[in-house]
Amino acid sequence: MKRCVTALVVAVALCSPRAEADPSPLALTVSPLDLARGDREPVERLKGERSGQALHLRSGQAGAAPTTRIVPPSRILVMPFENLKREGRIFWLAEASAVLLTDDLNALGANAITRQERQQAFERLQVPLVAALTDATVIRIGQLVGAAEVVVGSIQLESDALVVRARSIALDTGRVQADVTDRGPLAELFRTFERIARRMAPPSSRSSEEIERQHPPIAVFEDFVKGLLAETPATAINYLNSALARQPSFDRARLALWDIYVEQGDHALALAVVAPVRDESPWAPRARFLAGLSQLNLKKLDEAFETFKALPDAESTPTVLNNLGVVQLRRGPTPSNGQATDYFAKAANADPAEADYVFNLGYAYWLDRDPQAAIYWLREAVRRNPADADAHFVLGAALAAAGNASEATRERELARRLSSAYESNRRPGGEAVPKGLERVKNPVELPHVRPIEARLATTEQRDQEELARFHLDRGRRLFQQENDRDAAVELNHALYLSPYFADAHLLLGRIHLRNGRVGEAIAAFKIALWSAETAEVHVALGEAYREAKDPDAARAEAERALALDPASADAKALLKRLDSRE
């Protein structure tokens, strides 16, 4: 295997986060359902209660007896295997290996991360799906999807036998937990991977026949994987339709076709391709969810509502609750089906760390002409995602409507810094809040990288600014040790307590920049500048623009830094680097 597993183990040990204690949750200040029911008293009550106390969303009452938390199995990320000899005959098996092993591990009771989540992580990190990845990138992908273990492997042909090697590595310790090699003819591909999965998964009573039944014929599976890997939509559609022609009941190909049609903007065809999925299919819940999304895009709102409402666990799944709220927001409330705010509040209760649910709730209250409730929830939205330009802009509008002109101006200014969509000269509507800002959720979402409410201890005994600075200092030390993940956790704690803490945004931007997330770095530096303008931040933003290959913007930042501090050596060095490239 070209990538040395020893190097990966060492890299994991250096980059993995420390085990963290799970502090007690924060006490309830107000339930989201209070506002959903139209109770305005909690909003007024918060004015006297918010000092020194962060909000923790959850359903139920404060002081209720603690419930026993069921800890799920550790999550496993299976990466595409390496084709050691670069043999064209088996190029498709690199991705197929990851898909097969993931399926078998899950069938045996493990908690392997789906291809959809893995694909989202690749897109988030801007990594091509077929790229040869560095050890650091593998670790970052594992961290992004919340994995405790990562499986890497290799495949090669020896005569007519496929030789497969798979190794499971713990991300917290860097230790190899399993090292499995197996071989078999290509015709027995599924049995080969089942044997590997059984040596990695917990003991299971499921028989080989049960595992085998979940797989299609190999020719169908090959067409399916080649469709996933195809570089053009037309080629992908041909392969996936070929898989369906061979086995019309292979619903997984229908879901892949839905993705392609949606990317092409053909929502009618996307709806048609998932409609034939039968209720007894294991892929039926996902197919129905996708059908609901297509109906939303086709403005078939009544049908979309019924589709989402009929999904299993519709009353407890936050993505479904959120999308029901979107339907109600777009078509208007009905006496029997409730208001949009009802559903958004339930979604926020079910998943308090997700900023989009809180934003939707605040936005819905703004559309309901309730600025006080909108202000409350939009403040919570920007706590969770300080770079959310939409949330800052709508918050500015709500503050203006409530008579707080100065703060409204600051929020709108920050929105303009974060997004060109809010530049006054580009918006014919001026200060009007755009329509259609509500956020629809997909069936697969990446784990939250900063579940702050579950980690922060109560702050009643400390001043929030003091505690925020404590987290900043810890983050700075970790940053200097190149422990970027733990540093980001500390900085997110600080920003939850003090959303406009310039030093924390500056350091978080440096972490993003060091890890290649240039867009996120630019957003963090812009917020830092808005919070407190300094030459240091202008230089940092200029460096980010230089990495983004925008020399004009980089030069403007360097010149602004020199205007603030004519002696700035960093600004002069940045200008010198820019001049050397011209």
Q: Which residues have a Cβ under 8 Å from the Cβ of 318 and sit 6 or more positions away?
A: 346, 347, 348, 350, 351, 354, 357, 441
Look at 167-176, 197-206, 456-465 and tell me which has the smallest mean pLDDT: 456-465
Where residue 447 falls among pLDDT bands split at 50, 70, 90? low
Q: Which residues have a Cβ under 8 Å from the Cβ of 152 and sit 6 or more positions away?
A: 1, 3, 5, 8, 79, 81, 82, 138, 166, 167, 169
| CA distance linking residue 570 with residue 77, whole number of Å | 41
| CA distance linking residue 103 with residue 115, whole number of Å | 10
Give strand pairing partners of 428.
none
Predicted local confidence at residue 187, as pLDDT: 93
Nearest alpha-carbon partner for 323 in 356, 275, 362, 370: 356
Tokens of 493: 């704690």
Average pLDDT over residues 441-464: 52
Provide long-range contacts, Cβ within 8 A and 24+ apart, for 394-403: 394/362, 394/363, 394/366, 394/433, 394/437, 395/362, 397/366, 397/431, 397/432, 397/433, 398/362, 398/366, 398/371, 398/374, 399/371, 399/375, 400/431, 401/371, 402/371, 402/372, 402/375
State the virtual CA torsion across 19, 22, 23, 27 in degrees, nearest 10.
Answer: 150
Average pLDDT over residues 452-477: 64
| CA distance linking residue 47 with residue 26, whole number of Å | 18
Asked if residue 432 has pLDDT above 80, the reply is: yes
CA distances from 556 to 317, 385, 526 (A): 47, 27, 14
| CA distance linking residue 241 with residue 252, whole number of Å | 11
Residue 169, judged by CB atoms within 10 A of its CB (0-12, 13-18, 19+), counts as buried
Predicted local confidence at residue 129, as pLDDT: 66
| CA distance linking residue 507 with residue 408, whole number of Å | 26
Residue 246, judged by CB atoms within 10 A of its CB (0-12, 13-18, 19+), counts as middle
Tokens of 196: 């590997």
Q: Would you call 371 helix, strand, or coil by DSSP?
A: helix
| CA distance linking residue 503 with residue 142, whole number of Å | 28
Report residue 111: phi and psi, to 5°: -125, 70
Give strand pairing partners of 164.
155, 182
Please give the share of the chain, as a percent, with pLDDT higher than 70.
81
Asked if residue 362 has pLDDT above 80, the reply is: yes
Asked if residue 208 has pLDDT above 80, the reply is: yes
Strand 176-185 and strand 161-170: the pairing is antiparallel
Predicted local confidence at residue 451, as pLDDT: 42
Predicted local confidence at residue 429, as pLDDT: 52
User: How many other C-beta atoms are found inside a 10 Å radius of the C-beta of residue 122?
Assistant: 20
Average pLDDT over residues 401-421: 90
| CA distance linking residue 456 with residue 352, whole number of Å | 13
Predicted local confidence at residue 260, as pLDDT: 97
Predicted local confidence at residue 449, as pLDDT: 45
Convert 31-46 into a string of H (helix), E (strand) and C (coil).
CHHHHHCCCCHHHHHH
Average pLDDT over residues 114-142: 75
Average pLDDT over residues 349-368: 94
Q: Are 239 and 210 in contact (CB under 8 A)?
A: no
Nearest alpha-carbon partner for 421 in 378, 386, 381, 389: 389
Average pLDDT over residues 91-104: 95
Where residue 335 falls among pLDDT bands split at 50, 70, 90? confident
Asked if residue 427 has pLDDT above 60, the reply is: no
Q: Would you call 82 helix, strand, or coil by DSSP?
A: strand
Asked if residue 177 has pLDDT above 60, the reply is: yes
Average pLDDT over residues 219-243: 97
Nearest alpha-carbon partner for 240 in 252, 217, 220, 224: 224
Predicted local confidence at residue 72, as pLDDT: 64
Where residue 140 falls among pLDDT bands split at 50, 70, 90? confident
Give the helix/strand (H/E) hosting 429.
none
Predicted local confidence at residue 445, as pLDDT: 65
Asked if residue 16 has pLDDT above 50, the reply is: no
Domains and CATH numbers, the chain: 75-214 (3.40.50.10610)
Report residue 169: phi and psi, to 5°: -120, 130
Asked if residue 566 has pLDDT above 60, the reply is: yes
CA distances from 67 to 106, 469, 554 (A): 27, 33, 53
Q: Are 509 and 540 in contact (CB under 8 A)?
A: yes
Asked if residue 46 has pLDDT above 60, the reply is: no
Q: Are 47 and 75 in contact (CB under 8 A)?
A: no
Look at 87-96, 117-126, 469-478, 573-582 and tell me which has the smallest mean pLDDT: 117-126
Please give the share of the chain, as a percent, with pLDDT higher than 90.
58
Tens-place pLDDT, residues 481-523: 989 888 998 898 888 778 888 999 999 999 999 998 999 999 9
Strand 82-83 and strand 111-112: the pairing is unpaired
Cα angle 446-449-453, degrees, rounded to a multiple of 5: 115
Look at 159-163, 450-454, 460-464 and tell me which has the smallest mean pLDDT: 450-454
Q: Of residues 214 and 56, which shows the higher confidence score?
A: 214
Amino acid (one-letter) located at 40: R
pTM over 0.75: no
DSSP, res 165:
E
Asked if residue 580 has pLDDT above 90, the reply is: no
Predicted local confidence at residue 353, as pLDDT: 86
Average pLDDT over residues 318-336: 91
Compute the mean pLDDT over every residue in the chain, rounded to the nearest whole number: 83
Tens-place pLDDT, residues 258-308: 999 999 999 999 999 999 999 999 999 999 999 999 999 999 999 999 999
| CA distance linking residue 311 with residue 286, whole number of Å | 9
Q: Of residues 244 and 428, which shows the higher confidence score?
A: 244
Tokens of 7: 């190097």
Tokens of 36: 């959903």
Predicted local confidence at residue 120, as pLDDT: 81
Give strand pairing partners of 166.
153, 180
Average pLDDT over residues 398-413: 92
Convert 278-304 into a string of H (helix), E (strand) and C (coil).
CCCCCCHHHHHHHHHHHHHHCCCHHHH
